[in-house]
């Protein structure tokens, strides 16, 4: 974290004016603009002296010698930490969000898609929303069904009521009665367990119990592992990706392309989100504070959310460093509050 000496009121007002004007216009800010906006009753020359002091502190800089000032990363950080004040969502915005969440609270995938759309629409920036990170899926029931002499069908039912099936090809498939017995044994050993709980000791015991049919067990366990892994995978939704084109910082096609590609790639999205399930409150990372190279020219505003005691996800907004932080933080905060409002309303109704 940067160390910023205490600023007197005049420097504080001038810095605030530079940052807010630059966020709005993307144009360097000169002393005449500050004189008109601040109402400090001081001359342009005095303002230029104060701006020079702010530049010495590393809070602002110049793109060119003759140009006005622009905020630095350090300046943006000081603004986010010490200057900006978030606003509340309008009654109309809050009601729209509450209605959307209530209508879709039992349809997690659709709710996350709609939340991403609402976040992009209200903030004006690309949004990323991960669905809730659920507890590890457990096996509820396994059934082996014969197909022919060299194949069988594995049917897996999980504790999330998902049904998955997979054809297994073997040199020689057991018959119906044997598969019924093997199914019963699989259920006795595995029902109620997640993949992490199926250890080497248990597998060795099952191989011994399967006896002459041990060759059937390993492909079954491998496929069960793949099925449950796909069930445990957290999906991520994006919206408003093209919003990035509205900002002159991304007029360079290569910069815009890099952001587009990142927002379309699953691994990149998880890298952007970082460790959302351990996060607390709204976090703002600016420029070089971001670990990913492609975010060095961006700011990221993100937060974790919870829809029960065990299901957590992440919501994030990505934009240029010249982001409207007040709008971004306010919208994100409003969405988090409304998610909590809906959950509490549902819990009251259930009691």
Q: What is the pLDDT of residue 306?
A: 72
Q: Is 319 helix (H, G, I), strand (E, B) or coil?
A: strand
Residues 239 and 343 reside in one and the same domain: yes
Domain that holds residue 155: 139-229
Q: What's the structural domain count of the chain?
A: 3
Beta bridge partners of 306: 312
Question: Which of 229, 256, 285 is where one domain is finished?
Answer: 229
- What is the Cα–Cα distance from 315 to 126, expressed in whole angstroms? 11
In this structure, are 50 and 67 located in the same domain?
yes
In a domain, 1, yes or no: no
Pair (151, 290) in one structural domain = no
**Is 164 among the domain residues?**
yes
Specify whether 103 is located in the same domain as 242. yes
Mapping DSSP to helix (H, G, I), strand (E, B) and coil, where does residue 265 land?
Answer: coil
Q: Mean of the per-residue pLDDT values for the chain?
A: 85
Across 6-20, 140-154, 160-174, least confident range: 160-174
The CATH number of whichever domain residue 48 belongs to comes to 1.10.10.10
CATH of the domain at 280: 3.30.450.40
What is the arithmetic mean of pLDDT over 311-325?
89
pLDDT band at 69 (very low <50, low <70, confident <90, very high): very high
The rounded percent of the chain whose pLDDT value lies above 90 is 43
Rounded mean pLDDT, 143-147? 93
Which helix (H) or strand (E) segment is 287 a member of?
none
Co-location of 148 and 293 in the same domain: no
- Whether the Cβ atoms of residue 19 and residue 71 lie closer than 8 Å to each other: yes
Does residue 64 sit in the same domain as residue 97? no
95 versus 344: which is more confidently predicted? 95
Higher pLDDT, 121 or 111: 121
Same domain for 275 and 339, yes or no, is yes
Please give the average per-residue pLDDT across 51-57, as a whole number.
94
348 vs 259, more confident: 259
User: Would you give the DSSP letter of residue 289?
Assistant: G
Residues 176 and 256 in one domain: no
49 shares its domain with 155:
no
Residues 340 and 250 in one domain: yes
Neighbours of 342 (CB within 10 A): 21
Note the pLDDT of residue 345. 64
Last residue in a domain, options 229, 252, 284:
229
Tokens in use for 336? 């988090």
CATH label of the domain that carries residue 194 = 3.30.390.60
For 230, phi and psi rounded to 5 degrees?
-65, -30
Q: What is the mean pLDDT of residues 292-305?
A: 89
Residue 340 lies in a domain: yes
For the beta carbon of residue 41, count every other beta carbon within 10 angstroms. 7
* Residue 250: φ, ψ to 5°: -115, 25
Instruction: Compute the distance between CA of residue 111 and CA of residue 10 in angstroms, rounded to an integer.
Output: 46
Taking the C-alpha atoms of residue 60 and residue 63, their distance in angstroms, rounded to an integer, is 10
Cα distances (angstroms) measured from residue 29 to each of 85, 136, 141, 144, 320: 22, 53, 66, 72, 18
d(CA 7, CA 13): 9
What's the rounded Cα separation, in Å, for the pair 249 and 41? 34
Select from 65, 83, 101 the last residue of a domain.
83
**Half-sphere exposure (Cβ direction) of 40: Cα atoms closer than 13 Å:** 24
When pLDDT is averaged across residues 44-68 and rounded to a whole number, the result is 90
* Residues 210 and 149 reside in one and the same domain: yes
Q: What is the pLDDT of residues 284-296, one digit of tens each?
A: 999 999 888 888 8
The tokens describing 192, both together, are 């109620």
Sheet holding 282-286, edge to edge: 236-239, 127-130, 312-320, 298-306, 282-286
Q: In residues, how long is the chain?
A: 351
In this structure, is residue 2 part of a structural domain? no
Say if 4 falls within a structural domain.
no
Q: Report yes or no on 70 lying in a domain.
A: yes
- Asked whether residue 3 is assigned to any structural domain, the reply reads no
240 and 271 co-located in one domain: yes
Pairing of strands 163-169, 151-158: antiparallel
pLDDT given for residue 307 in this prediction: 62
For residue 155, is it within any domain? yes
Q: Helices then strands (H, E): number in the chain?
A: 12, 10
Distances (CA, A) of 22 to 25, 238, 323: 5, 27, 10
């Amino acid at each position: 974290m940067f160390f910023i000496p205490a600023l007197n009121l005049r420097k504080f007002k001038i810095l605030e004016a530079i940052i807010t004007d630059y966020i709005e216009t993307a144009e360097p800010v000169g002393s005449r603009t500050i004189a008109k906006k601040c109402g400090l009753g001081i001359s342009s020359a005095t303002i230029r002296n104060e701006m020079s002091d702010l530049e010495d502190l590393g809070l602002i800089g110049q793109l060119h010698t003759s140009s006005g000032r622009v905020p630095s990363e350090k300046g943006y950080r000081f603004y986010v930490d010490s200057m900006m004040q978030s606003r509340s969502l309008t009654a109309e915005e809050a009601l729209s969000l509450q209605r959307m969440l209530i209508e879709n609270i039992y349809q997690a995938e659709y709710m996350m898609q709609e939340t991403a759309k609402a976040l992009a629409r209200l903030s004006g920036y690309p949004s990323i929303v991960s669905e809730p990170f659920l507890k590890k899926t457990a096996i509820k029931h396994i059934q082996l069904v014969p197909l022919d002499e060299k194949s069988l069908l594995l049917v897996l039912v999980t504790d999330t009521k998902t049904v998955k099936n997979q054809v297994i090809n073997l040199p020689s498939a057991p018959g119906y009665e044997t598969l019924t017995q093997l199914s019963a044994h699989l259920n006795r050993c595995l029902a109620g367990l997640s993949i992490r709980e199926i250890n080497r000791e248990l597998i060795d015991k099952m191989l011994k119990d399967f006896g002459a049919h041990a060759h059937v067990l390993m492909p079954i366990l491998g496929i069960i592992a793949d099925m449950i892994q796909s069930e445990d995978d957290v999906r991520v939704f994006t919206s408003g990706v093209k919003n990035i084109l509205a900002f002159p910082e991304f007029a360079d096609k290569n910069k815009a392309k890099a952001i587009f590609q990142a927002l379309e790639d699953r691994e990149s999205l998880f890298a952007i989100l970082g460790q959302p399930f351990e996060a607390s409150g709204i976090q703002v990372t600016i420029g070089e504070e971001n670990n990913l190279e492609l975010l060095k020219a961006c700011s990221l505003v993100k937060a974790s959310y919870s829809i029960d005691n065990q299901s957590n996800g992440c919501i994030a907004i990505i934009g240029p460093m010249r982001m409207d932080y007040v709008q971004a933080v306010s919208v994100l905060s409003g969405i988090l509050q409304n998610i909590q409002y809906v959950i509490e309303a549902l819990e009251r109704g259930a009691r």
